[in-house]
């Protein structure tokens, strides 16, 4: 069984935080570093806890992340 991979496109993310709200495992948080547009983008410091439910992916209005695994 392969590990779940989380891909985040930081240049597309506008830091809305919906993925942080929908994730049942608390995988995501907003980073302190802004992208080129000045938004605090999401990061996945607890990626190891991801269950690949894809709630983050389906609720991201900008299609800024996807889950593989």
Here the CATH number for the domain that contains residue 23 is: 3.30.70.20
Rounded CA separation 68/4 (Å): 6
Residue 21 domain boundaries: 5-68
Summarize pLDDT for 32-64 with one digit per residue, the tens. 989 999 999 999 999 999 999 999 999 999 999
Q: How many domains does the structure of the chain reveal? A: 1
pLDDT at 2 (0 to 100): 56
Residue 7 pairs with which residues in a beta bridge? 66
**3 pLDDT tier (thresholds 50, 70, 90):** confident
**1 pLDDT tier (thresholds 50, 70, 90):** very low
**Phi, psi dihedral angles at 68 (to 5 degrees):** -125, 125
Question: Does 47 or 1 have the greater pLDDT score?
Answer: 47
């Amino acid at each position: 069984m392969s590990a779940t991979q989380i891909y985040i496109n930081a240049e597309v993310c506008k830091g809305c935080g919906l993925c942080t709200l929908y994730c049942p495992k608390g995988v995501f948080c907003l980073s302190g570093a802004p992208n080129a547009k000045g938004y605090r983008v999401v990061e996945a410091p607890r990626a190891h806890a991801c269950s690949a439910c894809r709630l983050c992916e389906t609720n991201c209005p900008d299609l800024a992340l996807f889950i593989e695994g």
